[in-house]
Amino acid sequence: MEAIEYQRFTNDLVAWAIREETVIGLVAVGSTASVTHAPDEWSDHDVFVFTDAGASATDRTRRDTV
């Protein structure tokens, strides 16, 4: 994935997390966090999504996408 596409997806993911009422946190890990190096063309998005208690069970049945 090109850098501009990677950043666009990251931005869309953050925007989704902000809109989603049950999401209380989004944590980027691995190359997504860009701590030791920037993502390259083979990088994927590694994230943890934290939700309100019980929200993950209902979210699995939803078909919403980023």
The structure tokens 């049945």 sit at 61
One digit per residue, pLDDT tens: the chain, 66 residues?
A: 677 887 888 899 899 999 999 899 988 877 665 656 566 676 667 788 898 887 765 555 554 555
Amino acid, res. 47: V
- Give the pLDDT of residue 19: 93
Q: Residue ranges of the domains in the chain?
A: 3-59
Please tell me the distance from the alpha carbon of residue 23 to that of residue 41, in angstroms, as a whole number. Answer: 28
CB 6 within 8 A of CB 39: yes
Quickly list DSSP for 3-48.
HHHHHHHHHHHHHHHHH-TTEEEEEEEGGGG-SSS---TT---EEE
